[in-house]
Structure 1
Amino acid sequence: MVSYGFWQTVPLRWKDNDVYGHVNNVVHYSLMDTVINTYLIDSGGLDIAAGPVIGLCVESQCKYHASVSFPESLRMGLRVAHLGRSSVRYEVGMYAASSEELVAEGNFVHVFVDRASRRPVEVAGKLREALAALA
């Protein structure tokens, strides 16, 4: 497995399977969003409900390598590929928990903005420290 600074295992759900019997592509995007925000909340202190700063997704991409289905779990690896003044580009690896096979790779870009004005703000303090730790 490629090196990632943060790992989270996520169980797939029955409803994640599509009519073709595998996890639908939109689920991969949802799981990327989940692992990123779990890390930001737990390690970076991001207050998604009432904090003055929020992260907006401005770009995302996913490359699929293998099929996966419920009841499998995915091991989600997270790292920071680029940390800018107000933005961060994450890389996410999704591996089948039972076999360590690479299922998908994703990229996700957040721009951090002021909650009220929606204008970009500098990533600072505990949030910057947490993101730098994954770079």
Structure 2
Amino acid sequence: MSPIKQVQITFDCAEPERVARFWCEVLGYVVPQPPEGFATWADFDRSLPSEEQGAWFECVDPSGVGPRLFFQRVPEGKVVKNRVHLDVRVATGLVGEERLAALEAECARLVALGAVRERLLPADEDNESCIVMQDVEGNEFCLD
């Protein structure tokens, strides 16, 4: 049995394109080119049956290193805490005030994009500081 080579991260959401475009901005990801024969994703979407229009969206790491992110529309809203979340690593290797400054700067950028700051988890004996946040549909993630 060969080892897994790639992983995709899938988000259940109400507005796939909106959430995908938020995460593109957060991570520097891009929307891939539309399928052959379509000038835009909107053109492709209009070619689908009405019940499938807007049902999914995707974004990818332009370097090809990070996982593909896939966003699919689901009828139910988010009601409880995520069981899995992303850690957005913006302050790797930084400590103390330098780390806090990097976290706060990125937090401000993401809040301007529609994220919500939940709380700062201050450094303790085992962990450095991080900021718990929510994306544009309330999915929790951490700035680490």
Name the TM tier (shorter chain): under 0.3
TM-score, with normalisation over the residues of structure 1? 0.26
- Write 1 or 2 for the structure with the bigger share of strand: 1
TM-score by length of 2: 0.25
With a CA cutoff of 8 Å and minimum separation of 6, indicate the structure with the bigger relative contact order: 1
Question: 1 or 2, which has the higher helix percentage?
Answer: 2
